[in-house]
Structures are given as structure tokens and as C-alpha cells.
């Protein structure tokens, strides 16, 4: 998968903190909250980037708002019914139509990798 089609799993604790922050900020989209977090972390990220060896800087973050796609969407699902799992899924979907047959319709469906 390319860098524009990635998934990330958040623990319930982190997902709750994220959504609490999003509510406090009054944002309706996760991408706005992430952009706000990047803006607030800019100095720390620059410091980290400066401390990395040159070969690791190749893929470092671009922190301009122009680098964020306005057509990107993020879907987050927290599975409270699944006793074995304490993570929520964050799925980036960038300019791709959603399939009508999704594993999200069945909370017991397992993700294949």
C-alpha cells in the first residue's frame, strides 16, 4: 500500500483522548484535529528532524498545510463490543470510493493482511 492508503490502530484510551480533543476544538473532521496537532508540534518535530542522521531525514514530515489534501477523509471505528480488542481502527481513504461490502458491517469479521 502506498503512503496515501494507510491504516492506523489506536488504543481506546488514545482514541478517547483524540475525540475529546476534537470536541474541545470544535472540529468536525479528524484531519483538522491532526493538522492542529501537527501545528502545535512543529517545533518538536523540527528538533527531532534536525537530530536525525541524514539518511533518516529523507522521509521526514512536511508540515505545510498545502501538503494536506482537502479531499482526504479519515474514518475511525472504535469496537466497544469486542472484548478481546482495545483498539480503534483509523482508515485513511483518499479519493477512493468505499466498497459496499466492508468488514466494518460485521464487528466479528477479521481483517486479512
The percent of residues above 90 in pLDDT, for the chain, comes to: 34
Helix, strand, or coil here: 103? helix
65 or 105: which leads in pLDDT: 105
pTM of the entire structure?
0.47
113 or 21: which leads in pLDDT: 21
pLDDT at residue 70 is higher than 50 = no
Q: What are phi and psi of 83, to 5 degrees?
A: -70, -25
Lowest mean pLDDT among 17-31, 48-62, 93-107: 93-107
pLDDT at residue 62 is higher than 80 = no
**Residue-wise pLDDT tens digits, 21-41:** 999 999 999 999 999 999 999
* pLDDT reported for residue 100: 46
Ramachandran sector of residue 62 (left: φ over 0; alpha: ψ -120 to 50; beta: rest): beta
Amino acid at each position: 500500500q502506498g503512503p496515501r492508503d494507510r491504516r492506523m490502530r489506536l488504543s481506546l484510551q488514545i482514541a478517547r483522548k483524540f475525540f475529546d480533543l476534537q470536541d474541545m476544538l470544535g472540529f468536525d473532521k479528524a484531519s483538522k484535529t491532526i493538522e492542529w496537532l501537527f501545528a502545535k508540534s512543529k517545533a518538536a518535530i523540527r528538533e527531532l528532524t534536525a537530530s536525525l542522521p541524514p539518511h533518516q531525514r529523507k522521509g521526514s514530515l512536511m508540515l505545510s498545510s498545502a501538503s494536506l489534501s482537502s479531499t482526504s477523509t479519515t474514518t475511525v471505528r472504535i469496537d466497544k463490543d469486542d472484548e478481546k480488542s482495545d483498539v480503534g481502527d483509523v482508515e485513511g481513504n483518499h479519493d477512493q470510493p468505499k466498497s459496499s461490502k466492508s468488514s466494518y458491517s460485521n464487528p466479528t469479521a477479521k481483517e486479512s493482511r
